[in-house]
Every structure is written in C-alpha cells, then in structure tokens.
Amino acid sequence: MSRILSVLVILLLLITQYRLWWGENGLLEYWQTQELVSNLEANNQQLQKRNSRLDAQVQDLKSGLDAVAERARFDLGMIGKNETFFWLIGEPPQSFTEPLPEMEQQP
C-alpha cells in the first residue's frame, strides 16, 4: 500500500513539474514572453526617438521659412533670388574628403 502511495505521489509531482515548466502559462512561455516584451520595448524606444526627430522637423517647418528654404534647396534643387547656382564636376577637393581633426579641449 505504501509503495502505491509513493508511486502516486511521485507521479503527481512529475505532472505538476511538467505543467510548471512546459504547460500552458508555464515558465518556458513566461521567458519567451519576457524576451518578446524586451524586444518590443527596444523597438518602441527607437520609434519614439524617430518620432521626436520628425516632430522637431515639423515644428521647424511650421515656425520659419529657413527650414522650408533649406528643404527646397537640397531636396528639390531650387535656388532663391539673388543666388547663383554652381555645378561642380569632378572629384571634390582633397580637403573636403578628409575627416576634420578632433578639437582638443583646453582646461
């Protein structure tokens, strides 16, 4: 009788362990959900930074004509009054392709 009871207790223990680790809402599913949440939070942070930059651009475009003029120049190739358009052909000068040296901070 005690042997049957021992086997039954061990069997119940194994069933509960199975449900704890691999069953519905078990630890394995919990860990996978935590990983998914952390990935989504990282993605959300990147999107929030992008939205902040876009919001700053929108505010800049709404507040002044300088940003509109800059967009027109670089995106559409427009020039303003009293401006001269120069189209340089060939390789850029060497001084423009080299990185700028780091500025040393003085105490």
Question: pLDDT digits over 63-100, tens only?
Answer: 877 777 877 887 887 887 888 877 778 876 666 555 55
* Cα 28 from Cα 13, distance rounded (Å): 18
Q: Is residue 104 part of a domain?
A: no
3 state DSSP class of 3? helix
Q: Is residue 107 part of a domain?
A: no
Q: What domain count does the chain have?
A: 1
Residue 26 belongs to what domain range?
2-78
% of the chain with per-residue pLDDT over 90: 22
Token pair of 47, please?
A: 């999107």
pTM comes to 0.46
The pLDDT value given to residue 38: 96
Q: Is residue 89 part of a domain?
A: no
DSSP 35-54: HHHHHHHHHHHHHHHHHHHH
Q: Is residue 105 part of a domain?
A: no
